[in-house]
Amino acid sequence: MNVVEYNEEEVISLEWQEHIRVRPGMYVGKLGDGTSHDDGIYVLLKEVIDNSIDEYIMGFGKNIVITISEDKEVKVRDFGRGIPLGKVTDVASKMNTGAKYNTGVFVNSVGLNGVGIKAVNALSSYFEITSFRDGQYAKARFCRGILLDESQGDTTEENGTLVVFLPDETLFGEFEFNNDYIETMLKNYSFLNAGLKLIFNGTSYCSQNGLLDLLNNNLNEEPLYEPIHLKSQYIEIAITHTSGYGESFYSFVNGQHTPQGGTHLSAFKEGLVKTIKEFYKKDFDPDDVRTSIVGAISIKVQEPIFESQTKTKLGSKDMGAGLPTIKNYVIEFLKQTLDNYLHKHPEMVDILLRKIVDAEKERKAISGIKKLARERAKKASLHNKKLRDCRVHYNSKDANFEKSTLFITEGNSASGSITKSRDVNTQAVFSLRGKPENTFGLQKSIVYKNEEFNLLQAALNIEEDLDNLRYNKVVIATDADVDGMHIRLLVITFFLNFFPDLIRQGHLYILQTPLFRVRNKKKTIYCYNDEEKTQAIKKLGAVEITRFKGLGEISPDEFAGFIGENIRLDPVKLGKNDMIHDLLAFYMGKNTPYRQGFIIENLRNEEELGA
C-alpha cells in the first residue's frame, strides 16, 4: 500500500460552499435523482419553505407561492417580514448566520443552525434571494455558492422573500421532481399550520382542522370510531383505530416531519397505552392497544435538537425554558385530555375495548404458532435455499441503506438469473415456490402457518414493526405474463393485509424488465413496451428482435444492466381514496361476476384506445 507523505501541504481548509459540495450528505442526507421522497432535491425545497413557514408561525404572511418550471427552476415567495436588507447576502452565504438564534424573533422554529439556505445555495447551479421590505428590495445572485452580484433599490412588491434556485445537475444528475412527493410535503405543512395557504403551480393546499385533516387524508381503511382530536398551546394529537394490522404514526416538531420519530413519538406511544390501561383499569399488553392504530402528534419545542441536519428524528428531552420534559409533558397531556374524552364518549369506549380484546384474543391464539414458526425460521435461515442474502446489512439510519434491496421472484430460472447478476453486497433474492396463497380475509396466523410467508417475514425482519427492516427496497420481480401478474397481486395482497406500512412508507416496488431486445451489429437497445420497440427499430434500421417471454430467458450478463444503475422500478402506492379492505374485497375477494364485468369493460376501453 502506497502511503502519501503527511505534512503541512496535505492539511487543507475548504471554503463553506466547497465543504457543502464535497460532503453534501451531511446537509441533505443523499443526492438522488428525485425518484425517492427523501432525495436531496426535496430537502433543498423543504429548507427554503421551512424559512417561510417560520415567518407564518410568527404571525407574518398567510400565503406561500411555490412554482417549479419545466426546466426545474424552483421559486418560493412568501409574504413575511422580509430579511433585513443589509443581511440578505450574509444569510445566504455565511455559515451559522441567522436570526433564529434569537428566540424573541423566532419562537419554536425549525431552522436553528443557520445552515439550510446555505446548503441550497451551494448545491444549486443558480441561486437568487430577494428581500422586499417597506418599499425597498435587496437581491443577491450566486452560482454554486459563489456570489455573482448584489443589487438594491425601490420596489412596489409586498414585504416578504423570494428564493429562486436550480439544483446542480453536476451533483444530482438528470433529476426530476415528483409532484406526488411535493404534494405530500405541502399537505403536511398545511395540516400543521391551520389557515396557511400554500399554492404550488396553481393548486392550493389549506387546512382548517390540522391533524384531524391529516388523519382523514391518510386513512386507507374505515375508522372504527370518529378520530379523536386533542389540542393545546404546545401540542396537537389525533388518534383512531381501523380493522387492519400494524400501527401507523405521523410525528412532527415545529412543523417539521420527523419520519424516524424521536422522544416525542416515544412519549406519545407510552402515554397512550398508559392512559388507556388506567381508564379501563386493565393491564392490557401495549401491542394489543396499538394494533391497527393510526395516530399523529405535533409538538412545539424551543430550540429543538435533531439527530441530523435533515431533522428526521428528534433528540431533545426538554420542551424549553420553564416547561417540563417532553416525555412528562406529552404523557400528562394525554392523561388529562384523552381520559376526559373517553369519559364523555361511552359509545367510543365500547368500540375501543372490543378492538383491544379482539387483538388480545388473536395474539394469544397465535402465540404458540409464533413460537414454533420462529424456531422453524431460525433453523431454515441456516440453510435457507429460498433466501440468497446480501453480504452487507445497513442500519436504516445509514445513507447506504437506500441501496439495500430484496428481490421477490418466482421459479428457479428467474431467481438464478437475478442471483448471478446482482450486487452481492446490497441485493438479496427471495425465491417463491409457485403461486402464494390468497390471504384476503385470513387472520394473521396464516403468516406463521405458511412456511413461505413466515420465511419472507423473517427475511424482512418485520414481525413486530418496520423499525428494523433489513432492506430499504422490497422489489417484486415476476414475469410480465398472466401468471406473473397474478403472483404479483398475491404478494401485494399479503403486504396490504398484514404489513400495510411497508407500502405506506414507500418500500414496495415492482421491477420493470424489458419485453424486447432490438439490436444490430453495432448497438443493442432493450425495450419495455411496443412504443419503445418501434422507436428502437427506427433508430437502428435493419435489426434482430428478441421477445423475452420470462425473466429466466434473460441471461445473467444482460440482467445485470436491468437491476443495477439503470434499474426501472414502479413504486406501489396507496392513494388518498384507496381503502385497503374495499380494494382487496373487489380484486381478491369472491365477487367473480362483478370483477369479470370490470375486466371485460376495461378490455373494451383498452381496445378502443389502441384503435
Q: Give the per-residue SS3 of 434-499.
A: CCCCCCCCCCCHHHHHCHHHHHHHHHHCCCCCCCCCCCCEEEEECCCCHHHHHHHHHHHHHHHHHC
The cell for 259 is: 419520519
| Amino acid 286: pLDDT | 92
The reported pTM is 0.73
pLDDT tier, 399 (very low <50, low <70, confident <90, very high otherwise): low
Convert the pLDDT of each residue in 80-137 to its tens digit. 999 999 999 989 988 766 555 444 444 545 544 446 899 999 999 999 999 999 999 9
Q: Environment class of residue 498 by beta-carbon count within 10 Å: exposed (0-12), middle (13-18) or buried (19+)?
A: buried
| Amino acid 101: pLDDT | 42
- The yes-or-no verdict on residue 40 having pLDDT over 50 is yes
In angstroms, the CA 203 to CA 292 distance is 33
**Dihedral pair phi/psi, residue 37, rounded to 5°:** -65, -20
Give the residue from 505, 495, 482, 510 showing the smallest Cα distance to 583.
495
Cell numbers 427471495: residue: 430
- The yes-or-no verdict on residue 140 having pLDDT over 70 is yes
In angstroms, the CA 367 to CA 379 distance is 19
The cell for 409 is: 421472484
Beta strand 74-78 pairing with 63-68: antiparallel
In angstroms, the CA 579 to CA 246 distance is 15
- The yes-or-no verdict on residue 204 having pLDDT over 70 is yes
| Amino acid 151: pLDDT | 94
Helix (H) or strand (E) holding 338, with range, is helix 326-344
Domains of the chain by start residue, with CATH: 16-206 (3.30.565.10), 211-362 (3.30.230.10), 384-513+548-578 (3.40.50.670), 580-611 (no CATH)
Convert the pLDDT of each residue in 245-257 to its tens digit. 878 889 998 888 8
| Amino acid 398: pLDDT | 67
Give the residue from 493, 462, 498 showing the smallest Cα distance to 476.
493
Please say whether the beta carbons of 438 and 459 come within 8 A. no
Q: Please name the amino acid found at residue 21.
A: R
The cell for 536 is: 428502437
In angstroms, the CA 265 to CA 247 distance is 13
Rounded to the nearest angstrom, the gap between the alpha carbon of residue 445 and the centroid of all alpha carbons in its chain is 29
- The yes-or-no verdict on residue 576 having pLDDT over 80 is no
pLDDT tier, 167 (very low <50, low <70, confident <90, very high otherwise): very high
Please say whether the beta carbons of 568 and 562 come within 8 A. yes
Cα 572 to Cα 100, 205, 500, 506, distances in angstroms: 40, 24, 11, 7
Of the spans 174-178, 226-230, 254-258, which averages the highest pLDDT?
226-230
Q: Give the per-residue SS3 of 413-428.
A: HHHHHHHHHCCCCCEE
